[in-house]
Amino acid sequence: MADEFRQEKLKNGLLVNIKEIHSAPIISHWLWYRVGSRNEVQGKTGLSHWVEHMQFKGTPKFPPGLLDRAISRDGGFWNAFTFLDWTTFFETMPAEKIELAFELEADRMVNSIYDAGEVDSERTVIISERQGNENDPHFKLDEQIQLAAFSTHPYRNEVLGSIKDLQAIQRDDLYQHYRSHYCPSNAVLAIAGDFDSDKILALAEKYYGDIPAGSPQIHQPEQDETLNEEKRVEVKGPGETTYLQIAYRAPAAAEDDFFVVSVLDSLLSGPSGLNMFGGGGISNKTSRLYRELVEKEYAISVFGGLQATIDPYLYNIHVTVRPDRKPEAVLKQIDREIEKLQKKPVSQTEIDRAIKQARAMFAYGSENITNQAFWLGYSEMFDGYDWFKQYMDRLNQVTPTQVQEAAQKYYLPERRVVGVYFPEEA
Protein backbone atom coordinates (compact mmCIF):
# COMPACT_ATOMS: atom_id res chain seq x y z
CA MET A 1 0.00 0.00 0.00
CA ALA A 2 2.88 2.40 0.65
CA ASP A 3 3.47 2.93 -3.09
CA GLU A 4 0.18 4.80 -3.52
CA PHE A 5 1.14 7.47 -0.97
CA ARG A 6 1.17 11.07 -2.22
CA GLN A 7 1.97 14.28 -0.40
CA GLU A 8 1.16 17.87 -1.39
CA LYS A 9 1.24 21.19 0.43
CA LEU A 10 -1.32 23.91 -0.32
CA LYS A 11 -0.23 27.53 -0.62
CA ASN A 12 -1.58 28.28 2.85
CA GLY A 13 0.70 25.64 4.38
CA LEU A 14 -1.82 22.83 4.83
CA LEU A 15 0.03 19.52 4.41
CA VAL A 16 -2.09 16.96 2.53
CA ASN A 17 -1.20 13.24 2.76
CA ILE A 18 -3.30 10.86 0.68
CA LYS A 19 -3.28 7.16 -0.13
CA GLU A 20 -5.47 5.36 -2.64
CA ILE A 21 -6.83 2.06 -1.29
CA HIS A 22 -9.45 0.43 -3.48
CA SER A 23 -10.31 -2.53 -1.24
CA ALA A 24 -13.70 -1.08 -0.22
CA PRO A 25 -15.87 1.87 -1.38
CA ILE A 26 -15.13 4.04 1.64
CA ILE A 27 -12.91 7.04 2.40
CA SER A 28 -11.50 8.14 5.76
CA HIS A 29 -10.78 11.86 6.20
CA TRP A 30 -8.66 13.04 9.16
CA LEU A 31 -7.73 16.61 10.04
CA TRP A 32 -4.85 16.88 12.52
CA TYR A 33 -3.76 19.98 14.46
CA ARG A 34 -0.32 20.22 16.01
CA VAL A 35 -1.61 21.18 19.45
CA GLY A 36 -2.25 19.14 22.57
CA SER A 37 -1.59 19.27 26.29
CA ARG A 38 2.15 19.63 25.51
CA ASN A 39 1.40 23.19 24.35
CA GLU A 40 -0.50 24.30 27.45
CA VAL A 41 0.76 26.35 30.39
CA GLN A 42 -0.02 26.10 34.08
CA GLY A 43 -3.41 27.59 34.85
CA LYS A 44 -4.76 26.57 31.45
CA THR A 45 -4.40 22.78 31.50
CA GLY A 46 -7.17 20.98 29.64
CA LEU A 47 -7.65 23.76 27.06
CA SER A 48 -6.93 21.58 24.02
CA HIS A 49 -9.33 18.83 25.07
CA TRP A 50 -12.08 21.35 25.87
CA VAL A 51 -11.61 23.08 22.50
CA GLU A 52 -12.00 19.69 20.81
CA HIS A 53 -15.38 19.36 22.54
CA MET A 54 -16.43 22.88 21.51
CA GLN A 55 -15.75 22.07 17.87
CA PHE A 56 -18.87 19.87 17.95
CA LYS A 57 -21.05 22.75 19.18
CA GLY A 58 -21.81 24.15 15.76
CA THR A 59 -21.22 26.93 13.26
CA PRO A 60 -23.79 29.24 11.61
CA LYS A 61 -23.84 26.86 8.63
CA PHE A 62 -23.98 23.64 10.66
CA PRO A 63 -25.92 24.10 13.94
CA PRO A 64 -25.37 21.57 16.76
CA GLY A 65 -26.80 18.13 16.04
CA LEU A 66 -27.21 18.67 12.31
CA LEU A 67 -23.96 16.99 11.35
CA ASP A 68 -24.54 13.99 13.59
CA ARG A 69 -27.75 13.26 11.74
CA ALA A 70 -26.25 14.01 8.31
CA ILE A 71 -23.23 11.73 8.79
CA SER A 72 -25.30 8.91 10.25
CA ARG A 73 -27.85 9.23 7.45
CA ASP A 74 -25.08 8.86 4.89
CA GLY A 75 -23.75 5.72 6.57
CA GLY A 76 -20.64 7.30 8.07
CA PHE A 77 -19.14 7.80 11.52
CA TRP A 78 -17.00 10.52 13.05
CA ASN A 79 -15.11 11.30 16.22
CA ALA A 80 -12.21 13.31 17.65
CA PHE A 81 -9.28 12.80 20.04
CA THR A 82 -6.89 14.99 21.99
CA PHE A 83 -3.54 13.77 23.28
CA LEU A 84 -0.19 15.11 24.44
CA ASP A 85 1.04 16.46 21.08
CA TRP A 86 -2.05 16.78 18.90
CA THR A 87 -5.80 17.08 18.36
CA THR A 88 -7.54 15.26 15.51
CA PHE A 89 -11.00 15.00 13.94
CA PHE A 90 -12.07 12.28 11.52
CA GLU A 91 -14.94 11.09 9.36
CA THR A 92 -15.14 7.72 7.60
CA MET A 93 -17.83 7.80 4.91
CA PRO A 94 -19.04 5.96 1.84
CA ALA A 95 -16.78 7.17 -0.97
CA GLU A 96 -19.52 9.08 -2.82
CA LYS A 97 -20.45 11.03 0.36
CA ILE A 98 -16.97 12.17 1.43
CA GLU A 99 -17.39 15.77 0.28
CA LEU A 100 -19.47 16.39 3.41
CA ALA A 101 -16.36 15.72 5.53
CA PHE A 102 -14.36 18.34 3.59
CA GLU A 103 -17.18 20.86 3.92
CA LEU A 104 -17.75 20.46 7.64
CA GLU A 105 -14.07 20.40 8.69
CA ALA A 106 -13.16 23.43 6.57
CA ASP A 107 -16.16 25.24 8.01
CA ARG A 108 -15.38 24.55 11.64
CA MET A 109 -11.70 25.34 11.12
CA VAL A 110 -12.87 28.95 10.73
CA ASN A 111 -16.47 29.47 11.88
CA SER A 112 -17.05 27.66 15.18
CA ILE A 113 -19.26 29.81 17.43
CA TYR A 114 -18.16 29.15 21.04
CA ASP A 115 -21.46 30.22 22.54
CA ALA A 116 -21.05 31.20 26.20
CA GLY A 117 -23.95 28.98 27.25
CA GLU A 118 -22.44 26.00 25.45
CA VAL A 119 -19.10 26.69 27.17
CA ASP A 120 -20.72 26.56 30.61
CA SER A 121 -22.65 23.42 29.70
CA GLU A 122 -19.51 21.71 28.44
CA ARG A 123 -17.62 22.72 31.59
CA THR A 124 -20.02 20.54 33.56
CA VAL A 125 -19.56 17.66 31.10
CA ILE A 126 -15.76 17.78 31.18
CA ILE A 127 -15.54 18.15 34.97
CA SER A 128 -17.86 15.16 35.28
CA GLU A 129 -15.62 13.24 32.87
CA ARG A 130 -12.62 14.12 35.00
CA GLN A 131 -14.37 13.17 38.25
CA GLY A 132 -15.50 9.89 36.73
CA ASN A 133 -11.91 9.04 35.80
CA GLU A 134 -10.83 9.77 39.35
CA ASN A 135 -12.74 6.65 40.39
CA ASP A 136 -10.40 4.58 38.21
CA PRO A 137 -7.31 3.34 40.11
CA HIS A 138 -5.22 3.41 36.92
CA PHE A 139 -6.07 7.08 36.29
CA LYS A 140 -5.30 8.08 39.88
CA LEU A 141 -1.97 6.25 39.85
CA ASP A 142 -0.99 7.39 36.37
CA GLU A 143 -1.64 11.05 37.20
CA GLN A 144 0.59 10.96 40.29
CA ILE A 145 3.36 9.18 38.36
CA GLN A 146 3.28 11.79 35.58
CA LEU A 147 3.56 14.59 38.14
CA ALA A 148 6.55 12.86 39.73
CA ALA A 149 8.24 11.98 36.41
CA PHE A 150 8.33 15.55 35.06
CA SER A 151 9.13 18.68 37.02
CA THR A 152 8.13 21.36 34.50
CA HIS A 153 7.37 19.77 31.11
CA PRO A 154 3.61 19.77 30.30
CA TYR A 155 3.75 15.99 29.84
CA ARG A 156 3.33 16.00 33.61
CA ASN A 157 -0.31 17.14 33.24
CA GLU A 158 -3.32 15.01 32.41
CA VAL A 159 -4.82 15.81 28.99
CA LEU A 160 -8.16 16.44 30.71
CA GLY A 161 -6.60 19.21 32.82
CA SER A 162 -6.92 19.82 36.54
CA ILE A 163 -10.25 20.50 38.25
CA LYS A 164 -8.95 23.90 39.36
CA ASP A 165 -8.09 24.95 35.81
CA LEU A 166 -11.33 23.56 34.38
CA GLN A 167 -13.29 25.67 36.86
CA ALA A 168 -11.31 28.81 35.98
CA ILE A 169 -11.09 28.65 32.16
CA GLN A 170 -13.44 31.06 30.39
CA ARG A 171 -14.99 31.31 26.94
CA ASP A 172 -12.35 33.75 25.67
CA ASP A 173 -9.53 31.42 26.76
CA LEU A 174 -11.05 28.65 24.65
CA TYR A 175 -11.77 30.85 21.66
CA GLN A 176 -8.26 32.33 21.67
CA HIS A 177 -6.78 28.81 21.82
CA TYR A 178 -8.96 27.81 18.86
CA ARG A 179 -8.07 30.88 16.79
CA SER A 180 -4.35 30.51 17.60
CA HIS A 181 -3.96 26.87 16.62
CA TYR A 182 -6.75 25.81 14.25
CA CYS A 183 -5.33 27.04 10.96
CA PRO A 184 -3.91 25.45 7.78
CA SER A 185 -0.24 26.11 8.57
CA ASN A 186 -0.65 24.15 11.82
CA ALA A 187 -2.62 21.25 10.33
CA VAL A 188 -2.27 18.01 8.38
CA LEU A 189 -5.06 16.63 6.20
CA ALA A 190 -4.83 12.84 5.88
CA ILE A 191 -7.12 10.88 3.56
CA ALA A 192 -7.15 7.20 2.61
CA GLY A 193 -9.62 5.16 0.62
CA ASP A 194 -11.37 4.57 -2.65
CA PHE A 195 -10.71 7.72 -4.70
CA ASP A 196 -8.75 9.23 -7.55
CA SER A 197 -5.82 11.24 -6.13
CA ASP A 198 -6.22 14.21 -8.47
CA LYS A 199 -9.91 14.51 -7.65
CA ILE A 200 -9.36 14.29 -3.89
CA LEU A 201 -6.62 16.94 -4.07
CA ALA A 202 -9.02 19.16 -6.02
CA LEU A 203 -11.52 18.83 -3.15
CA ALA A 204 -8.81 19.74 -0.65
CA GLU A 205 -8.00 22.87 -2.67
CA LYS A 206 -11.70 23.73 -3.08
CA TYR A 207 -12.54 23.60 0.62
CA TYR A 208 -9.27 24.46 2.38
CA GLY A 209 -7.25 26.39 -0.21
CA ASP A 210 -8.72 29.85 0.47
CA ILE A 211 -8.48 29.69 4.27
CA PRO A 212 -5.73 32.06 5.51
CA ALA A 213 -2.57 30.26 6.61
CA GLY A 214 -2.69 31.68 10.14
CA SER A 215 0.17 32.34 12.55
CA PRO A 216 -0.06 29.65 15.20
CA GLN A 217 1.10 30.75 18.63
CA ILE A 218 2.67 27.55 19.86
CA HIS A 219 4.07 27.23 23.37
CA GLN A 220 7.25 25.15 23.06
CA PRO A 221 8.13 23.64 26.44
CA GLU A 222 11.60 23.40 27.88
CA GLN A 223 12.89 19.86 28.26
CA ASP A 224 13.10 18.30 31.69
CA GLU A 225 16.41 17.00 32.95
CA THR A 226 16.87 13.23 33.08
CA LEU A 227 15.71 11.72 36.35
CA ASN A 228 18.69 11.09 38.64
CA GLU A 229 17.01 9.43 41.61
CA GLU A 230 14.18 6.98 42.05
CA LYS A 231 10.86 8.51 43.07
CA ARG A 232 8.06 6.70 44.88
CA VAL A 233 4.37 7.55 44.95
CA GLU A 234 1.53 5.86 46.80
CA VAL A 235 -2.15 6.30 46.06
CA LYS A 236 -5.09 5.01 48.07
CA GLY A 237 -8.62 4.61 46.84
CA PRO A 238 -11.65 2.36 46.55
CA GLY A 239 -11.44 -1.23 45.36
CA GLU A 240 -9.93 -4.54 46.37
CA THR A 241 -6.90 -4.70 44.08
CA THR A 242 -3.31 -3.48 44.43
CA TYR A 243 -1.64 -2.09 41.31
CA LEU A 244 2.05 -1.50 40.68
CA GLN A 245 3.25 0.87 37.95
CA ILE A 246 6.87 1.60 37.02
CA ALA A 247 7.67 4.50 34.69
CA TYR A 248 11.01 4.98 32.95
CA ARG A 249 11.81 7.95 30.73
CA ALA A 250 11.54 6.77 27.11
CA PRO A 251 13.14 8.21 23.96
CA ALA A 252 11.20 10.46 21.59
CA ALA A 253 9.67 8.69 18.60
CA ALA A 254 12.06 10.27 16.11
CA GLU A 255 15.15 8.99 17.96
CA ASP A 256 16.91 5.82 16.82
CA ASP A 257 16.63 4.44 20.34
CA PHE A 258 12.83 4.42 20.07
CA PHE A 259 12.96 1.40 17.79
CA VAL A 260 15.34 -0.40 20.13
CA VAL A 261 13.08 0.29 23.11
CA SER A 262 10.13 -0.96 21.04
CA VAL A 263 11.88 -4.32 20.74
CA LEU A 264 12.82 -4.23 24.42
CA ASP A 265 9.18 -3.54 25.27
CA SER A 266 8.06 -6.52 23.20
CA LEU A 267 10.69 -8.72 24.82
CA LEU A 268 9.99 -7.65 28.37
CA SER A 269 6.21 -7.24 28.60
CA GLY A 270 4.73 -7.78 25.13
CA PRO A 271 4.48 -5.23 22.30
CA SER A 272 2.66 -1.93 22.78
CA GLY A 273 -0.06 -0.95 20.32
CA LEU A 274 1.22 2.36 18.94
CA ASN A 275 -2.03 3.01 17.05
CA MET A 276 -4.07 4.96 19.58
CA PHE A 277 -7.18 4.68 17.42
CA GLY A 278 -7.18 0.90 17.83
CA GLY A 279 -6.73 -2.27 15.87
CA GLY A 280 -6.07 -5.78 17.08
CA GLY A 281 -3.80 -7.23 19.68
CA ILE A 282 -1.61 -10.24 20.37
CA SER A 283 -0.82 -12.29 23.45
CA ASN A 284 2.12 -11.32 25.66
CA LYS A 285 2.43 -14.80 27.22
CA THR A 286 5.90 -15.32 25.77
CA SER A 287 7.24 -12.10 27.32
CA ARG A 288 9.75 -12.35 30.15
CA LEU A 289 7.64 -10.50 32.71
CA TYR A 290 4.54 -12.57 31.97
CA ARG A 291 6.48 -15.77 32.55
CA GLU A 292 8.15 -14.40 35.67
CA LEU A 293 5.16 -12.66 37.28
CA VAL A 294 1.96 -14.29 36.06
CA GLU A 295 3.08 -17.88 35.61
CA LYS A 296 4.91 -17.79 38.95
CA GLU A 297 1.83 -16.27 40.63
CA TYR A 298 3.20 -12.88 41.61
CA ALA A 299 0.71 -10.99 39.45
CA ILE A 300 -2.68 -11.39 37.83
CA SER A 301 -1.57 -9.45 34.74
CA VAL A 302 1.32 -7.42 33.37
CA PHE A 303 1.66 -5.22 30.31
CA GLY A 304 3.83 -2.39 29.04
CA GLY A 305 3.03 0.96 27.48
CA LEU A 306 5.15 2.90 24.98
CA GLN A 307 3.90 6.00 23.13
CA ALA A 308 5.22 7.80 20.04
CA THR A 309 5.74 11.40 21.15
CA ILE A 310 7.61 14.56 20.12
CA ASP A 311 9.61 14.80 23.34
CA PRO A 312 10.88 11.98 25.55
CA TYR A 313 7.89 10.60 27.44
CA LEU A 314 7.48 7.44 29.55
CA TYR A 315 7.68 3.69 29.19
CA ASN A 316 5.29 2.21 31.75
CA ILE A 317 5.08 -1.29 33.17
CA HIS A 318 1.63 -1.98 34.66
CA VAL A 319 1.09 -4.87 37.05
CA THR A 320 -2.06 -6.13 38.77
CA VAL A 321 -0.67 -7.63 41.96
CA ARG A 322 -2.03 -10.90 43.33
CA PRO A 323 -3.84 -10.48 46.68
CA ASP A 324 -1.35 -12.76 48.44
CA ARG A 325 1.72 -10.83 47.21
CA LYS A 326 3.32 -7.56 48.25
CA PRO A 327 4.20 -4.87 45.64
CA GLU A 328 7.81 -4.80 46.83
CA ALA A 329 8.21 -8.52 46.14
CA VAL A 330 6.81 -8.03 42.63
CA LEU A 331 9.18 -5.11 42.05
CA LYS A 332 12.15 -7.28 43.02
CA GLN A 333 11.14 -9.87 40.43
CA ILE A 334 10.90 -7.18 37.76
CA ASP A 335 14.31 -5.82 38.72
CA ARG A 336 15.81 -9.30 38.42
CA GLU A 337 14.51 -9.64 34.87
CA ILE A 338 15.80 -6.21 33.90
CA GLU A 339 19.22 -7.01 35.41
CA LYS A 340 19.39 -10.13 33.24
CA LEU A 341 18.83 -7.97 30.16
CA GLN A 342 21.53 -5.55 31.31
CA LYS A 343 24.17 -8.19 32.11
CA LYS A 344 23.79 -10.65 29.27
CA PRO A 345 22.91 -10.10 25.58
CA VAL A 346 19.61 -11.62 24.52
CA SER A 347 19.80 -14.47 22.01
CA GLN A 348 19.10 -13.63 18.41
CA THR A 349 16.25 -16.14 18.46
CA GLU A 350 14.49 -14.29 21.27
CA ILE A 351 15.13 -10.93 19.58
CA ASP A 352 13.63 -12.27 16.36
CA ARG A 353 10.51 -13.42 18.20
CA ALA A 354 10.13 -10.05 19.95
CA ILE A 355 10.52 -8.22 16.64
CA LYS A 356 7.99 -10.52 14.99
CA GLN A 357 5.44 -9.79 17.70
CA ALA A 358 6.05 -6.02 17.55
CA ARG A 359 5.66 -6.14 13.77
CA ALA A 360 2.42 -8.10 14.11
CA MET A 361 0.99 -5.61 16.59
CA PHE A 362 1.96 -2.76 14.27
CA ALA A 363 0.35 -4.51 11.29
CA TYR A 364 -2.90 -5.10 13.18
CA GLY A 365 -3.07 -1.37 13.87
CA SER A 366 -2.58 -0.50 10.19
CA GLU A 367 -4.82 -2.90 8.33
CA ASN A 368 -8.09 -1.11 7.52
CA ILE A 369 -8.77 2.13 5.65
CA THR A 370 -9.54 4.22 8.73
CA ASN A 371 -6.29 3.05 10.38
CA GLN A 372 -4.32 3.78 7.22
CA ALA A 373 -5.68 7.33 7.20
CA PHE A 374 -4.87 7.60 10.91
CA TRP A 375 -1.20 6.80 10.29
CA LEU A 376 -1.01 9.28 7.39
CA GLY A 377 -1.58 12.07 9.91
CA TYR A 378 -0.44 10.63 13.22
CA SER A 379 3.12 10.00 12.04
CA GLU A 380 3.38 13.67 11.02
CA MET A 381 2.63 14.77 14.58
CA PHE A 382 5.98 13.50 15.90
CA ASP A 383 8.12 12.95 12.76
CA GLY A 384 6.85 12.25 9.24
CA TYR A 385 5.21 9.58 7.12
CA ASP A 386 8.59 8.03 6.30
CA TRP A 387 8.69 7.01 9.97
CA PHE A 388 5.63 4.83 9.37
CA LYS A 389 6.94 3.41 6.09
CA GLN A 390 10.31 2.52 7.62
CA TYR A 391 9.05 1.21 10.97
CA MET A 392 9.19 -2.49 10.10
CA ASP A 393 12.66 -2.26 8.53
CA ARG A 394 14.06 -0.32 11.47
CA LEU A 395 12.77 -2.93 13.90
CA ASN A 396 14.50 -5.63 11.87
CA GLN A 397 17.81 -3.80 12.21
CA VAL A 398 17.80 -3.93 16.03
CA THR A 399 20.58 -6.14 17.40
CA PRO A 400 21.02 -8.00 20.73
CA THR A 401 23.82 -5.58 21.65
CA GLN A 402 21.56 -2.58 21.11
CA VAL A 403 18.88 -4.14 23.28
CA GLN A 404 21.37 -4.73 26.09
CA GLU A 405 22.70 -1.16 25.82
CA ALA A 406 19.17 0.28 25.85
CA ALA A 407 18.33 -1.69 28.99
CA GLN A 408 21.50 -0.33 30.63
CA LYS A 409 20.69 3.21 29.54
CA TYR A 410 16.95 3.55 30.20
CA TYR A 411 15.96 0.94 32.79
CA LEU A 412 17.93 2.17 35.78
CA PRO A 413 16.42 2.44 39.28
CA GLU A 414 17.56 6.05 39.60
CA ARG A 415 15.73 6.96 36.37
CA ARG A 416 12.27 5.77 37.28
CA VAL A 417 9.13 6.44 39.24
CA VAL A 418 7.57 3.56 41.16
CA GLY A 419 3.90 3.93 42.01
CA VAL A 420 1.58 1.71 44.02
CA TYR A 421 -2.19 1.90 44.31
CA PHE A 422 -3.43 0.48 47.62
CA PRO A 423 -7.15 -0.29 47.98
CA GLU A 424 -8.59 1.36 51.08
CA GLU A 425 -10.57 -1.77 51.95
CA ALA A 426 -7.29 -3.64 52.32
Q: Which of 208, 241, 267 is the last residue of a domain?
A: 208
Q: Is residue 221 part of a domain?
A: no
Average pLDDT over every residue of 351-356: 92
State residue 291's pLDDT score: 96
State residue 276's pLDDT score: 66
Q: To the nearest whole number, what is the mean pLDDT of the chain?
A: 94
Q: Which of 193, 208, 223 is the last residue of a domain?
A: 208
Q: Is residue 188 part of a domain?
A: yes
State residue 281's pLDDT score: 64
Element (H, E) at 391: helix 385-396
Q: Is residue 219 part of a domain?
A: no
pLDDT at 12 over 70: yes
Q: Is residue 328 part of a domain?
A: yes
Strands (DSSP E) contained in 42-134 are 77-82, 87-94
Give, as one character, the DSSP assignment of residue 185: G
State residue 46's pLDDT score: 98
Question: Which residues fall within 8 angstroms of residue 132, CB to CB, at 6 or more apart?
Answer: none
Region of 278 (left: φ > 0; alpha: ψ -120 to 50; beta: rest) is left
- CATH number of the domain to which 186 belongs: 3.30.830.10
Note down the domain range covering 168. Answer: 2-208
State residue 226's pLDDT score: 86
State residue 426's pLDDT score: 47
Query: Is residue 44 domain-shared with residue 162, that is, in the same domain?
Result: yes
Percent of the chain with pLDDT over 90: 86
pLDDT in tens, 162-184: 999 999 999 999 999 999 999 99
What is the number of domains present in the chain?
Answer: 2
pLDDT in tens, 203-237: 999 999 999 999 988 888 989 988 899 999 999 99
